[in-house]
Amino acid sequence: MTLRQVSVQNRLMPLTASVQQGEQIHLIGPNGSGKSTLLACMAGILPCSGEIALQQKCLSQYSHSELARHRAWLSQQISSIPIMPVFQYLQLHLMHHRVNCDDVLSELCSYFKLGMLLETPVGNLSGGEWQRVRLTGVFLQVWPSINSKGKLLLLDEPANNLDITQVAALDLLVKKFCALGGTVIMSGHDLNHSYDKADRIWLLANGLLVADGKPDEVMKENTLSSVFAADIKCVSEKRHKYWRVFLL
What's 182's domain CATH number?
Answer: 3.40.50.300
Instruction: Count how many domains the chain has.
Output: 1
**Is 29 assigned to a binding site?**
yes
Bridge partners (DSSP) of residue 8 are: 12
Mean model confidence pLDDT for the chain? 94
pLDDT at 238 over 80: no
Q: What is the model's pLDDT at position 248?
A: 64
The answer to whether 226 is annotated as binding is: no
Output the pLDDT for position 237.
78
Domain around 238 = 2-246
30 labelled as ligand-binding?
Answer: yes
How confident is the model over 95-115, as pLDDT tens digits?
A: 777 678 899 999 999 999 999
122-181: per-residue pLDDT in tens? 999 999 999 999 999 999 999 999 999 999 999 999 999 999 999 999 999 999 999 999
Q: Is residue 32 annotated as involved in ligand binding? A: yes
Q: Are 182 and 146 in contact (CB under 8 A)?
A: no
Average pLDDT over residues 185-197: 97
What confidence tens digit (pLDDT) does each residue in 6-50 have?
Answer: 999 999 999 999 999 999 999 999 999 999 999 999 999 999 999
Q: Binding residue per annotation — 127?
A: no
Annotated ligand binding at 35? The verdict is yes
Q: Report the distance separating Cα 154 and Cα 205, nearest Å.
A: 19
137 is in an annotated binding site: no
- Tens of pLDDT, residue by residue over 206-229, are 999 999 999 999 999 999 999 999
Is residue 201 a contact partner of residue 29, using CB atoms and an 8 Å limit?
no
Q: Helix 164-179 crosses helix 127-142 at what angle (to 10 degrees)?
A: 10
